[in-house]
Chains A and B, each alone.
Chain A
Amino acid sequence: MAYVAVKGGERAIDAAHDWLARERRGDPAIPALGIRQVEEQLGRAVDRVMAEGSCHDTGLAALAIKQAQGDLIEAAFLLRAYRTTLPRFASSLPVETAAMVIRRRISAIYKDLPGGQVLGPTYDYTHRLLDFSLAAERLDETEMRPPARPTDTGRRAMPRVMDLLDREGLMGAEQPGDAAPADLTREPLSFPAGRDVRLQALARGDEGFLLALGYSTQRGYGNTHPFVGEIRVGAVAVEIVPPELGFAIEIGRIDLTECEMVNQFGGSKTEPAQFTRGYGLCFGHAERKAMGMALVDRSMRASEFGEDVTAPAQDIEFVLSHSDNIEATGFVEHLKLPHYVDFQSELETIRRMRRTAGEDAAPEGEAP
């Protein structure tokens, strides 16, 4: 770290934090925000903080959002810090997204697919007009239409779209296997990074970073000609096998968003032309994040498919070294901390250089 410790300033720091607490509370005449309100009514913010904080707990994420005054990166930081205080009991069995209880499931490549297109609660097809009825002081529950009555509750099979392409042999298969995946929270990032490490890093990566990188591939920086094969949002069961029991038990359900991108691939001398996959999976309802993740996952597979690595999104080391917003904010924001001694030495150096340059130019006199 390029700064040295300073002492003093405790009283000023305490006063600053007291003021922060008052500012966080805002006008005392306005009712305070409850954690449950955040959890229920700002769900997308909660989901983002859980994904980037890499810890699924809606209540903790809501608390972090309140504490951080809605600064979602600060909130994710708080959640990451909290998780380090907890022991890890187990790793789950891999979740079965094919068995998801679906709230939303769409495909942009097949109009009619088994199970159909289910829009779910979506902002797609809204007009992006501010809804001033939400700003009305009175409660608006009475104006909402009630949910559909459970008339058609038949369980429709919702097979993966990718399996349809797979069956025709048009889709590059995933490498199956059950080897224990590498874990970024236990071993530091090193290169070359396997797909397991890459997917873990992307799943906890910054949504804005993944969005921008994914966008860059669409604009030509390593284009992969993507289509949304399928997006599904819903609840999956999480199972663990506790050693004291010796059999699998479900510990609850969590909401996940999954995105499978279908990408072009021309084939090679040894392989016929086929499509390739990009995969996105993240906590909560976060389609933009899952799509960005899937685009960048596919881009980082460039060398696997014999493509030239020329664009930022294809550069594994570049992507993984900069995707984590907690690390990024730590390094950028540490610049605010006292660097007095470092800067003093910089000052000395630049003065000396100017003095030397002045002596060279005008050997008779020293520069002022």
Chain B
Amino acid sequence: MSNPDLISRRQRWMAILARAERPLIEARLATVDPLPSHRRLRGPETGLVMVQGRAGGNGAPFNLGEMTVTRCTVHNEHGLTGHAYIAGRDAPKAELAAALDAALQDPDAGPRLERTVIDPLADALAAADDRLRAEAEATRVDFFTLATMRS
């Protein structure tokens, strides 16, 4: 559980599952064997996270405002516990993400699930970011100053 490699892998898939739309996750899951069955230990339940910023972007923290978040904890039939905290109020997505977090930690089946479900989602999210960067790039502007304007 506490090995650094597993922690960084979990951080990656949790971030991807938090950002990917539920239909996209479900579409990937439709291509693989059903996930191990699970029971809910907590939730899914919706609450708030207070978002902090920093004064000047890099100074002391301040409270910017809250956001909704839905969390879920499950225990699957192989004895693995999965957690999820997902921005928004999509309870089925939080449960799905928790079930996936549990299944992905399985030393045998996990890596394959990571390749077939998580990696394609990561690619789709990266492609969406690329599209956004390209749109931003198209609006890059070179201003030129008129040196004589005020002389």
Binding site for B on A (CB under 8 A): 50-51, 54-57, 59-60, 83, 86-95, 97-98, 101-104, 111, 116-122, 147-153, 155, 160, 162, 174-185, 195-197, 199-200, 203-204, 237-238, 240, 242, 244-245, 247-254, 256, 258, 260, 277, 279, 281-283
Q: How many residues of B contact A (CB 8 A)?
A: 57
In the bound complex, do residue A258 and residue B57 qualify as a contact, i.e. CB atoms below 8 Å apart? yes
Scan B104-133; emit 1 where CB is below 8 A from any A CB, else 0.
000000000000000000000001011111
In the bound complex, do residue B11 and residue A148 qualify as a contact, i.e. CB atoms below 8 Å apart? no
B24 at the interface (CB under 8 A from A): no
- Which B residues lie within 8 Å of A247 (CB)? 7, 10-11
With A83-B48, A86-B46, A89-B48 known as contacts, the answer to whether A174 contacts B133 (CB < 8 A) is no
Scan B21-56; emit 1 where CB is below 8 A from any A CB, else 0.
000000000000000000000000011111111111
Starting from the known contacts A116-B140, A121-B139, 15 additional A-B residue pairs (CB-CB under 8 Å) come to A55-B48, A83-B66, A86-B47, A89-B48, A91-B52, A116-B142, A118-B137, A149-B134, A150-B130, A174-B57, A179-B61, A182-B63, A258-B57, A281-B64, A282-B64
Specify the chain A residue showing the minimal Cβ separation from B87: A252
- A192: min CB distance to chain B, Å: 16
B99 at the interface (CB under 8 A from A): no
In the bound complex, do residue A252 and residue B19 qualify as a contact, i.e. CB atoms below 8 Å apart? yes
- A202: min CB distance to chain B, Å: 10
Among B56, B63, B65, B138, point to the contact of A174 (Cβ < 8 A): B56
B-side binding surface: helix, strand, loop or mixed?
Answer: mixed
In the assembled complex, the Cα of A253 lies from the Cα of B132 at a distance in Å of: 14
Binding site for A on B (CB under 8 A): 7, 10-11, 14-15, 18-19, 46-69, 71, 73, 83, 85-89, 127, 129-145
In the bound complex, do residue A97 and residue B53 qualify as a contact, i.e. CB atoms below 8 Å apart? yes
- B72: min CB distance to chain A, Å: 12
Most chain A CB neighbours (cut-off 10 Å) among B59, B73, B86, B145: B59
- Which B residues lie within 8 Å of A111 (CB)? 143-145
- Which B residues lie within 8 Å of A200 (CB)? 62-65
Among A56, A88, A180, point to the contact of B47 (Cβ < 8 A): A88
- B43: min CB distance to chain A, Å: 10
In the bound complex, do residue A183 and residue B50 qualify as a contact, i.e. CB atoms below 8 Å apart? yes
In the bound complex, do residue B15 and residue A91 qualify as a contact, i.e. CB atoms below 8 Å apart? no
Specify the chain A residue showing the minimal Cβ separation from B141: A117
16 contacts between A and B (CB under 8 A): A55-B65, A89-B71, A91-B49, A111-B143, A122-B139, A150-B127, A160-B57, A175-B60, A185-B66, A245-B83, A247-B7, A247-B10, A251-B49, A251-B87, A277-B56, A279-B57
- Which A residues lie within 8 Å of B10 (CB)? 247, 249
- Which B residues lie within 8 Å of A50 (CB)? 65
In the assembled complex, the Cα of A251 lies from the Cα of B87 at a distance in Å of: 5
Most chain B CB neighbours (cut-off 10 Å) among A60, A89, A151, A249: A249
In the bound complex, do residue B53 and residue A281 qualify as a contact, i.e. CB atoms below 8 Å apart? yes
In the bound complex, do residue B62 and residue A196 qualify as a contact, i.e. CB atoms below 8 Å apart? yes
- A259: min CB distance to chain B, Å: 10
